[in-house]
């Protein structure tokens, strides 16, 4: 039997209507799926595909304890506790739990926060430890949640604070090694792009999933020795407290490779509470970022220049009248000079006589004047060989170069260079001076200073960095003569200060501080620059600076005792047998 | 001189020339109509769909297992880091200096070195 709709029947009309609806659906589907494909695909992707950042872990910072790395800066997982006031059911229960578990990390006025109208997010406590977060989670309170984060922690407290620096709220390193090696420490965040379910669990379905693992930051091992750093900080704070000096800094270096063993500043701060510091100058590492007129410490470099060029020897003599005239300007020795007459440059070094070193500068020229040739020679040694007045390139943020006026400058005249011969008229940093002095006590080799000793890999293995190679040289015989001169200077003036059986030397420095562009009569910078070890090998260089507003003190009285304190401890710590 | 006629060789290929063709035809007694065909096709599509769904769901369940394991790894890693921090705090200089062992130590009055 053949079924056929009768023309004009209700069935035929119904079939026609259904067909029309079907066509309408087909057209609509065609429009949505074909023509509007990209638009709806985008909408679906925005709902289903999530881009999640895989945070890179910031590299840890280690110091050395002998030859073993020990952590100075680590990462700790912390949690932020938040509440959704609209879904909170037990306000008093939450308050009681948070106050008892979070303690000082809880925000004040929890009651007010939890009952804030029209709010879906209120932070109740920050920086909770994992144990604290777990304790709160166990209570099963409704309407609260946790956000996981990471913060820097300092197991050694404020040790080497200025060398370390800190990480700010944006995750950027500031000051110290955190600022200097920020890019290396940060690492690189990874990316996870995936279809997720409603709970944001990534699913493997879909063809556009991306997973780029995070690259964690490099774990840096500093050359700072934890024990030397601790003792140095203690010695500095003890002496400054004793004499009432406001500011001070110390650097301890290994002259045989340019590594910094300790770098201390006072006053100091605790990096874990950097946001509570009211005086931002505490963040500065004065060893690298406070150029100053070094005073008589520079006489060692003037003497080295004179000996290396053959102009003078330690036993050469000159007539000390207590004053020398340069281009109409009288230059005097410091008050208390008793070494008049024909004296050696060794004597001038012992008693730090300015006239002796102005004479060395004259003998670099024609013997009577500080000629252009003399000034060019001094500049070549000071700037090119000893690297004074320029950035050393140490891996710390905030290093300043200082300045040495070249003889080609109108200000680089004979008067300036006569002043430079005994440490005035130039600005240098302690790091520059200590690094240059290291080359005088290690046989004449200049090593670029460094605070990085190596790195620790992901398995915890320590990989020491390749040893530095010296960059500039003076004659070994020159270096040895200057080393001996400073040994004689120390043992002549500071009899019995050192442990017997060791070979130490040094030079005091006392200079007027420049305040508001002028030499101040009420502010001095007291320094001591010295070394220690055995006759055969210098093991360490220590430089001390004591200064500050309205501080009047000499290098011998204020800075030298700190050197002696550290030096006598260091020979024992380094297990140097006496000879 | 007479010639023996050459023996013709039929290759195996020629012998089985129609090997790949049906040489016998069976006709089934069961006849399927259009409705039966349609039902069978629908059934096959349904079965295949179910198989697909099963496999897709199984993959997703692996995702949840994987996520659970990754979460566990992250928790353990956090615990390890926290323990390392605690270890570093306990072995810090201040703790060592303030320990009972350190407090009981005295400064040596005389130090001598042995030359080897």
B82 at A interface, C-beta within 8 A: yes
First vs last C-alpha separation in chain A: 127
First vs last C-alpha separation in chain B: 118
Residue A64 has pLDDT above 60, yes or no: yes
Residue A103 pLDDT class (50, 70, 90 cuts): confident
Tokens of B68: 């659970």
Residue B1 pLDDT class (50, 70, 90 cuts): very low
Residue A204 has pLDDT above 80, yes or no: no
CA nearest B95 in A: which residue?
A156
Residue B44 resides in a domain: yes
The whole-number pLDDT of residue A149 equals 87
Question: What is the DSSP secondary-structure string of A276-288?
Answer: G-S-GGGGS-HHH
Say how many CB pairs under 8 Å bridge A and B: 53
Give the whole-number percent of chain A exceeding pLDDT 90: 77
The whole-number pLDDT of residue A169 equals 86
Domain extent, residue B59, equals 32-91
**A201/B63 touch (CB, cutoff 8 Å), yes or no:** yes
Instruction: Please count the structural domains in chain B.
Output: 1
**CATH number of A224-573: 3.40.50.800, 3.40.50.2300, 3.40.710.10, 3.20.20.70?**
3.40.710.10
The whole-number pLDDT of residue B111 equals 79
Interface of A with B in 119-158 (CB under 8 A): 129-130, 153, 155-157
CA distance, residue A576 to nearest chain B CA (Å): 9
Which residue of B57, B81, B95 to mutate against A (max A Cβ within 10 Å)? B81
Q: How far is C-alpha A358 from the chain's CA centre?
A: 37
Residue A352 and residue A554 in contact, taking contact as beta carbons nearer than 8 Å:
no
Q: Where are the domains of chain A?
A: 224-573
CA distance, residue A75 to nearest chain B CA (Å): 7
Residue B22 resides in a domain: no
Residue A312 pLDDT class (50, 70, 90 cuts): very high
**Chain A CB contacts of B109 below 8 Å:** none
CA nearest A569 in B: which residue?
B107
C-alpha span between B54 and B59 (Å, rounded): 9
**B94/A156 touch (CB, cutoff 8 Å), yes or no:** yes
Residue A303 and residue A360 in contact, taking contact as beta carbons nearer than 8 Å:
yes
B73 at A interface, C-beta within 8 A: no
B23 at A interface, C-beta within 8 A: no
Using alpha carbons, select from A504, A555, A565, A564 the residue that is nearest to residue A531: A504
CA distance, residue B87 to nearest chain A CA (Å): 9
C-alpha span between A283 and A276 (Å, rounded): 12
Phi-psi region for residue B72, left (φ > 0), alpha (ψ -120 to 50) or beta?
A: alpha
A375-399, pLDDT tens digit by residue? 999 999 999 999 999 999 999 999 9
| Helix, strand or coil, per DSSP, at residue A187 | coil
A33 at B interface, C-beta within 8 A: no
C-alpha span between B84 and A308 (Å, rounded): 53
Residue A346 and residue A315 in contact, taking contact as beta carbons nearer than 8 Å:
yes
**Chain A CB contacts of B81 below 8 Å:** 74-77
Phi-psi region for residue B97, left (φ > 0), alpha (ψ -120 to 50) or beta?
A: alpha
Residue B7 has pLDDT above 70, yes or no: no
A16-59, pLDDT tens digit by residue? 999 999 999 999 999 999 999 999 989 988 888 888 888 899 99
Residue B49 resides in a domain: yes
Residue A337 has pLDDT above 70, yes or no: yes
**A129/B94 touch (CB, cutoff 8 Å), yes or no:** no
C-alpha span between A132 and A127 (Å, rounded): 10
Residue A447 has pLDDT above 50, yes or no: yes
Mean pLDDT (chain A) is 93
The whole-number pLDDT of residue B2 equals 47
Q: A219-225 and A61-65 as β-strands: parallel, antiparallel, unpaired?
A: parallel
DSSP A295: G
CA distance, residue B111 to nearest chain A CA (Å): 9
A55 at B interface, C-beta within 8 A: no
**B93/A227 touch (CB, cutoff 8 Å), yes or no:** yes
Bond before A349 cis per omega within 30 degrees: no
Interface of A with B in 162-201 (CB under 8 A): 197, 201
């Amino acid at each position: 039997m053949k079924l056929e709709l009768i023309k004009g029947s209700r069935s035929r009309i119904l079939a026609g209507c259904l067909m029309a609806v079907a066509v309408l659906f087909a057209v609509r589907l065609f429009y949505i799926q074909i023509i509007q494909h990209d638009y709806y695909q985008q909408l679906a992707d925005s709902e289903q595909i999530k881009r999640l950042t895989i945070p890179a872990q910031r590299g840890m910072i280690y110091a050395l304890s002998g030859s073993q790395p020990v952590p100075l800066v680590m990462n700790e997982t912390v949690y932020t506790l938040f509440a959704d006031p609209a879904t909170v059911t037990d306000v008093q229960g939450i308050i009681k739990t948070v106050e008892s578990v979070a303690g000082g990390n809880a925000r004040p006025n929890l009651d007010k926060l939890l009952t804030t109208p029209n709010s879906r997010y209120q932070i109740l406590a920050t920086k909770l430890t994992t144990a604290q977060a777990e304790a709160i989670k166990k209570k099963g309170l409704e309407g609260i949640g946790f956000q996981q984060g990471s913060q820097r922690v300092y197991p050694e407290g404020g040790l080497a604070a200025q060398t370390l620096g800190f990480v700010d709220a944006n995750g950027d390193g500031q000051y110290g090694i955190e600022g200097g090696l920020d890019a290396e420490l940060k690492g690189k965040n990874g990316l996870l792009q995936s279809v997720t379910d409603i709970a944001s669990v990534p699913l493997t379905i879909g063809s556009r999933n991306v997973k780029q693992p995070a690259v964690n930051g490099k774990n840096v091992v500093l050359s700072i020795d934890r024990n030397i750093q601790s003792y140095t900080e203690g010695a500095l704070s003890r002496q400054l407290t004793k004499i009432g000096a406001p500011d001070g800094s110390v650097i301890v270096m290994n002259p045989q490779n340019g590594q910094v063993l300790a770098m201390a500043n006072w006053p100091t701060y605790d990096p874990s509470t950097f946001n509570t510091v009211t005086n931002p100058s505490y963040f500065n590492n004065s060893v690298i970022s406070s150029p100053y007129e070094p005073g008589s410490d520079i006489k060692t470099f003037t003497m080295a220049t004179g000996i290396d060029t053959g102009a003078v020897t330690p036993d050469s003599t000159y007539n000390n009248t207590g004053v020398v005239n340069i281009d109409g300007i009288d230059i005097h020795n410091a008050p208390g000079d008793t070494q008049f007459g024909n004296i050696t440059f060794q004597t001038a070094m012992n008693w730090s006589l300015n006239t002796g070193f102005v004479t060395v500068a004259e003998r670099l020229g024609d013997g009577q004047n500080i000629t252009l040739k003399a000034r060019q020679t001094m500049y070549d040694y000071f700037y090119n060989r000893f690297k004074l007045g320029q950035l050393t390139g140490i891996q710390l943020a905030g290093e300043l170069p200082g300045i040495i006026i070249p003889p080609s400058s109108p200000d680089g005249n004979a008067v300036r260079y006569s002043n430079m011969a005994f440490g005035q008229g130039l600005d240098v940093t302690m790091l520059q001076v200590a690094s240059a002095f290291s080359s005088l006590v290690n046989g004449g080799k200049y090593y670029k200073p460094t605070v990085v000793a190596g790195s620790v890999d992901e398995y915890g293995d320590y990989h020491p960095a390749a040893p530095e190679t010296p960059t500039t040289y003076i004659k070994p015989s020159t270096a040895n003569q200057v080393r001996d001169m400073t040994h004689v200077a120390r043992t002549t003036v500071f009899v019995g200060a050192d442990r017997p059986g060791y070979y130490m030397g040094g030079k005091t420095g006392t200079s007027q501080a420049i305040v508001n562009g002028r030499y101040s009569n009420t502010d001095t910078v007291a320094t001591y620059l010295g070394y220690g070890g055995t006759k055969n090998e210098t093991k360490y260089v220590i430089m001390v600076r004591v200064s500050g507003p309205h501080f009047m003190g000499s290098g011998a009285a204020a800075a030298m005792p700190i050197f002696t304190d550290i030096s006598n401890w260091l020979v024992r710590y380094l297990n140097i047998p006496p000879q | 001189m007479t010639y023996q006629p050459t023996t013709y060789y039929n290759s195996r290929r020629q012998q089985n020339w129609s090997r790949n063709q049906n040489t016998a035809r069976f006709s089934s007694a069961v006849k399927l109509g259009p409705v039966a065909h349609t039902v069978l096709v629908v059934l096959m599509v349904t079965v295949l769909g179910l198989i697909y769904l099963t496999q897709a769901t199984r993959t997703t369940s692996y995702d949840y297992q994987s996520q659970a394991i990754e979460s566990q790894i992250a928790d353990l890693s956090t615990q390890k880091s926290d323990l390392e921090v605690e270890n570093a705090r306990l072995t810090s200089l201040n703790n060592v200096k303030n320990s009972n062992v350190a407090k009981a130590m005295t400064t040596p009055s005389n130090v001598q070195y042995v030359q080897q």
